[in-house]
A = this chain, B = another copy of it.
Amino acid sequence: MVAIHITTGSNTPIFQQIVAQVRAAIASGRWKVGDPLPSVRSLAKELVVNHNTVAKAYKQLLQDGLIDSHQGRGYFVAKRREIYTKAERVRRVRKLVQPLVSEAITLGLSSDEIVSLLKQELGKLRQSDE
């Protein structure tokens, strides 16, 4: 089980924080295919947010094919399947890369340092796979 933590003061919407953390848990392999997610209402209670907020996060993950829903039984980590075309996937990642680059440059990091940080994060994933 992986705990989910949110920061209410943050600029990042709560539902996106939840999406990011579930995504990370699945991407890293800590949550396996078939694992049940915390129920919408129980997680909402635990995080002290409205149930609609959790539902919104889960809907996003459902849409992206990362989780499945079974009416009346809850949400479960889904078997991986390709939903988006290559072009669409690249488009989506590019939309995340742009603000990263903008922010990193502003903070004074060099291109090499940025690439290096990215590789470090990718490396962590690979280790947890082994």
Contact = CB atoms under 8 A, between A and B. Distances in A.
Interface of A: 8-9, 11, 13, 20, 23-24, 26-28, 63-66, 68-71, 80-85, 87-90, 92-94, 96-109, 111, 113-115, 117-119, 121-122, 125-126
Residue in A83, A93, A98, A107 with the greatest tally of chain B CB atoms within 10 Å: A107
Contacts of A122: 101, 111, 114-115
Residue in A28, A109, A119, A122 with the greatest tally of chain B CB atoms within 10 Å: A122
20 contacts: A11-B70, A11-B71, A24-B98, A64-B106, A65-B88, A82-B85, A84-B84, A90-B109, A90-B117, A92-B103, A93-B100, A93-B103, A93-B104, A96-B100, A96-B104, A101-B122, A105-B125, A111-B126, A114-B122, A118-B118
A87 B83 CA distance: 8
